[in-house]
Structure 1
Amino acid sequence: MEYAQKKLPGNRTLDNYAIFGKIVLPPMETKISLTRWVKIVSCIFILLTIIVYAILPKLRNLFGKILLSYCVAMFMLFFVLTITQFFQQDFSNSFCKFVGFSLIFFSFCSFTWMHIICIDIWYSFGSPRTISGPLQRNEMKKLLLYSVYGWGFPMLWVLLILFFNDTKLLPKSIQPYVGYDECYFENYDNRKGNYAFSIFITLPLILQQIVNIVLFIRTVRHCIRVKSEIRRMDDNNRSRNDYQAGKEKLYLVLKLGVVMGMLFLFETISAIRKMDVNPITEHIEIVWDTINCLQGLFIFIIFICKKKIYISLCEKWKMVRGYSPTSTTTPGSIQSTCTNEETLNLEEKTWTSTQY
C-alpha cells in the first residue's frame, strides 16, 4: 500500500491511497488448470495402449480382450473428464446432466472391468472347474458374459440413479443430485446432510474392491500350492507354463490394483473429509490428484513396456514395411522347419499365455 498527500489552496489537502496486490488463484482453480493437462497425457497413453492391443494378434486372446475393454472404459472416463474441465462453463443444463451421468457410467465401467480381471484370473488359476467343449467357444461365451456384466451392470446402476434423480422419491438425506450445481454426482460438500454419494457411488465400489481382494488372496494361495506340487512331483512343462502364466497375471493385477486403489482410496477420503480446511491438505490434494491423473501413463507402463511386446511390435513393423518375417527357405532348411514345427507351436502358445 502506498500513501501520498497533496497540498491544495486554502490549507486543504488531498489524501491518496494505492493498494497493490498479487493475484493468486484459489487452490481449486490451480488444481483444475494443472490436472486437465495431465489428463490429456493420460488419454494419449491409454489410446496408445488400445492401439497396441488392437494391432497385435497375439494379444487378442480372452484376457487381452478383457484388458482392452478396461482400457476403453478408462480412456472414455479420462476423455469426458478432460472435456468437462475445459468446457464446463459452456455446457447447457441438460448437457451438464448428460456429462454427469456419463462420468458415473464410465467410472463404474472401469472398476467393473477391473473386477472382471480379478474374476477371470481366479477362475483360470484359483478355482476348481471343469472345461467342456472347444476352447474358442468357451472363451467367446465367457467374453459375452463378461461384456454383459462389464457394460450392463454400470448401465443399470446409472439408470437407477437417473430414476431417483428425476422422481425425487427418496428422502433428502439420500436423494441423488446429478447435474444441478455441477456436472457430476453432488456429495455433502455441496448439499449438507446428503449422503447419496456414499450410498450410490462409494458403497458399491467398496464391495467390489473387497471381493477383488478375496479373489486375489484365494488365487495366490492356489498358485503357492501348485508351485509346491510342481517342486515335489517334478511335474511336466505344461503345468510349469500354466503356473508361470498365472503368476505373471497375478503380478499384473497387483500392479493394476495399486494404481486403481490409489484413485479409489483418495476419492473415498475426499468424499468423507474436506481437503480445503487448511493449506497443507489443499496442496496434498493437488499433488495426489496429479498422480491419479497419470493413471494412463501407469497403464501403458504395466501393459505395454515389456520386452515381448517390443519384439512383437518390431516384427509387425517389419511386416508393414514389406520385410519377410522368415528367412529364405533352402532345401536344407525344409527338413529342419518341419521337424521343429510342433516345438514352435508350443512356444507360440506359451508366449501368448505368459505375455502379461
Structure 2
Amino acid sequence: MKLIFLFLTIGLAGCEASDCCKHGVVEDDGNVCVDLLTNKTSSTSLTCSHVDHLSLQMFNFTVSEDSLILNLNEDMVIELESDKFCVSNGTRFSDDPVAVICSDVDEKILEESVYGYCMIVSVVFLVITVIVYSMLPKLRDLLGKSIINFCASLAIGLSTLAIMNIMEYSDLKWCAVRGFVAYFFILATFFWSNSISIQILRSLERPTSIDYSWKAFMWYALYAWGCPTILTIILAIVNFTPGKHRKPGIGLNTCWFFDYKQQWYYMYSVMTILIVSNMVIFMYISLSLWRHTFASTHIKALKYKFWMTVRMFIVMGLAWIFEMISSLSKPHIIWVILDFFNLLQGLLLFLVLVVFRKRVIKELYNKGWLECVAGCVERHLAVGDDEEDVVEHTIGVALEEK
C-alpha cells in the first residue's frame, strides 16, 4: 500500500501553484484527472509515476508559486519544487482541496492484491482450526480455549489486512476503522501467543492437572485482550490528537501507517518485546523439562504440548520477523518468497495444531468425521502412542459438562 511522509502540521498560504487539472478534478488516490460531467480522464500536470495526496482537511501545508513547504517537525522542513507537486480544488469523492506530490516508492514485485488473496487462504485454514477445536470437548481445556482465541484473532487480523490490500478505499473514516481493527487483532495474536507460553510455564508446577474451567482462562483472556485494547486506544488518541508528535497516520491519508518508521514505533516494537519474552520463557521451560530424569506420562504430555507451542511460535514468530526485516530493505525476490511464508502461516498452523496432533485426529476419528479416510487415519494413529494420552486429573467441571 502506498505510504506518504511523516505527519504534517502546517498551514495553507495560497494556491497560485500549478493546477493539477485543466478540466475536472483529481481521481482519489491517483495521478489522473477526471471530468465529472463527461467522465473522461486525462493525465495531471505531473510526470512522476508515484504520487501521494495531502488533503487540506487532514494536513495544513504552505503553497507558493514555485514551491510547497512541508514542516515535518521543528527541526525538519522539506521544500518541494514546482515540478514535484500540483494542487486541485477537490477529488471525485471530496470537495476538500488537495496537494498531489511526487513520492519515491520502490517498485513492487507483486501486486498487493496477490498478497491479499494469499491471506484469505490462511484465514480459511485458521477458521477450520477454530471450528475443530470448538466442536471437540476434549480439546477445550485451558490450552485449547487459548488456541481458539489465538487462531480467531489471527484470522480476523489477516482478513482485515486482506480487505485493505484487495479493495480500494474512498472513505477515510472506514479506512481508519479497518486499520485500527487490523492493528488490534494482530497485536492480540501476539499477546495470546505470550499467554500460551505463560500457561505452559505455569504447568510445570502441576503437570498432572488439566484445567477445563473458565476461571483461569478469564485471567489469561483479560491479559491477552486487554493489553491490545489499551494499546489501540492509545494509538487512536495519539493518531487524532493535534500536535507535532509522531503520529501513526492511520486513516489520515492511508488505511495503514504512514511508513515503516511509524509501524516500527507503534507495532513492531511491541511484537519484538513479546517475541523476546516468548523465547526467554521457552528456554527456561526446556531446561526445566529436561532436568527430569524419571519417566512420566504427564511429563511426556507436557513436553509434547511445549514442543507444539514452540512450533506454533516458530510458524507465527518467524513469519512476522521476516516481515519486520523486509520492511527495512528494498523489494527483492527473497523477501517475496519469505512474505509468502508469512501469508500462508494459517495453513502451517493448521498442520501443526490439527493434522500433526494425534489427539485431534483421534477425536475427529471417534466422532466419525474421518470415515472417508479411515484407513489413513488408522495407520497414522498406529505409528505411535498419543503423547497426550495420560490419566487426566481435571479441574473445574466434568468432561461431559464442558
TM-score scaled by length of structure 1:
0.70
Match of 1:262 among 303, 318, 323: 318
Q: Are the equivalent residues in 2 in contact too, given 1:164–1:170 (CA < 8 A)?
A: no
Quick check: 1:40 aligned with 2:120? yes
**Partners of 1:256 and 1:38 in 2: CA distance:** 19
Instruction: Give the partner amino acid of 1:225.
Output: R
Q: Which residue in 1 is equivalent to 2:172?
A: 93
Q: Answer with 157-166 or 206-215: which moved more.
A: 206-215
Q: Which residue in 1 is equivalent to 2:132?
A: 52
When residues 307 and 212 of structure 1 are mapped into structure 2, their CA distance, relative to the original with a 3 A threshold, is closer
Residues 31-52 of structure 1 deviation map (CA, whole Å, 9 limit, x = unaligned):
4232222212111111111111
How far is 1:135 from its partner? 7.6
Higher helix share: 1
**Partners of 2:222 and 2:268 in 1: CA distance:** 22
Residues 267-288 of structure 1 deviation map (CA, whole Å, 9 limit, x = unaligned):
22133x2323xxxx2x222222
Match of 1:73 among 153, 156, 173: 153
When residues 347 and 34 of structure 1 are mapped into structure 2, their CA distance, relative to the original with a 3 A threshold, is closer
Match of 2:282 among 196, 216, 240: 216
Match of 2:299 among 243, 265, 269: 243
How far is 1:308 from its partner? 3.2
Q: Are the equivalent residues in 2 in contact too, given 1:38–1:293 (CA < 8 A)?
A: yes
- 1:306-345 aligned within 5 A: 306-317=357-368
Match of 1:294 among 333, 344, 367: 344
Secondary structure at the residue paired with 1:304? helix
Secondary structure at the residue paired with 2:214? helix
Q: Which residue in 2 is equivalent to 1:120?
A: 199
Residues 110-162 of structure 1 deviation map (CA, whole Å, 9 limit, x = unaligned):
1110111111001112xx5799xx9868x422211111111111011000010
When residues 348 and 265 of structure 1 are mapped into structure 2, their CA distance, relative to the original with a 3 A threshold, is closer
Q: Which residue in 1 is equivalent to 2:231?
A: 157
**Partners of 1:303 and 1:104 in 2: CA distance:** 25
When residues 114 and 149 of structure 1 are mapped into structure 2, their CA distance, relative to the original with a 3 A threshold, is same
When residues 60 and 102 of structure 1 are mapped into structure 2, their CA distance, relative to the original with a 3 A threshold, is same
When residues 318 and 156 of structure 1 are mapped into structure 2, their CA distance, relative to the original with a 3 A threshold, is closer
Q: Are the equivalent residues in 2 in contact too, given 1:103–1:184 (CA < 8 A)?
A: no
How far is 1:205 from its partner? 1.5
Higher relative contact order (CA 8 A, sep 6+): 1
When residues 160 and 40 of structure 1 are mapped into structure 2, their CA distance, relative to the original with a 3 A threshold, is same
Q: Are the equivalent residues in 1 in contact too, given 2:301–2:389 (CA < 8 A)?
A: no
**Matched residue count:** 273
**Partners of 1:318 and 1:76 in 2: CA distance:** 26
How far is 1:170 from its partner? 5.1
Q: Are the equivalent residues in 2 in contact too, given 1:241–1:350 (CA < 8 A)?
A: no
Q: Which residue in 2 is equivalent to 1:10?
A: none
- 1:100-115 aligned within 5 A: 100-115=179-194
Q: Which residue in 2 is equivalent to 1:30?
A: 110
**Partners of 2:207 and 2:186 in 1: CA distance:** 34
Structure 2: any 5+ residue segments left out of the alignment? 1-105, 372-387, 396-402
**Partners of 2:316 and 2:394 in 1: CA distance:** 25
When residues 264 and 145 of structure 1 are mapped into structure 2, their CA distance, relative to the original with a 3 A threshold, is same
How far is 1:348 from its partner? 6.6
Q: Are the equivalent residues in 2 in contact too, given 1:73–1:110 (CA < 8 A)?
A: yes
Q: Are the equivalent residues in 1 in contact too, given 2:176–2:255 (CA < 8 A)?
A: yes
Structure 1: any 5+ residue segments left out of the alignment? 1-25, 189-194, 232-239, 321-345
**Partners of 1:97 and 1:118 in 2: CA distance:** 32
How far is 1:265 from its partner? 1.2
Q: Which residue in 2 is equivalent to 1:340?
A: none
Higher strand share: 2
Q: Which residue in 2 is equivalent to 1:176?
A: 248
**Partners of 2:344 and 2:389 in 1: CA distance:** 35
For the pair shown, which has the larger CA radius of gyration, 1 or 2?
A: 1
Q: Which residue in 1 is equivalent to 2:329?
A: 274
TM-score scaled by length of structure 2:
0.62
How far is 1:165 from its partner? 0.5
Residues 298-342 of structure 1 deviation map (CA, whole Å, 9 limit, x = unaligned):
01000000333222112213799xxxxxxxxxxxxxxxxxxxxxx
Secondary structure at the residue paired with 1:317? coil
Identical positions, percent: 26
**Partners of 1:294 and 1:130 in 2: CA distance:** 33
Q: Which residue in 1 is equivalent to 2:264?
A: 198
**Partners of 2:210 and 2:197 in 1: CA distance:** 20
When residues 262 and 27 of structure 1 are mapped into structure 2, their CA distance, relative to the original with a 3 A threshold, is farther
**Partners of 2:326 and 2:196 in 1: CA distance:** 27
Residues 19-72 of structure 1 deviation map (CA, whole Å, 9 limit, x = unaligned):
xxxxxxx95372423222221211111111111101111101111001111011
**Partners of 2:370 and 2:132 in 1: CA distance:** 15
**Partners of 2:335 and 2:348 in 1: CA distance:** 19
Secondary structure at the residue paired with 2:259? coil
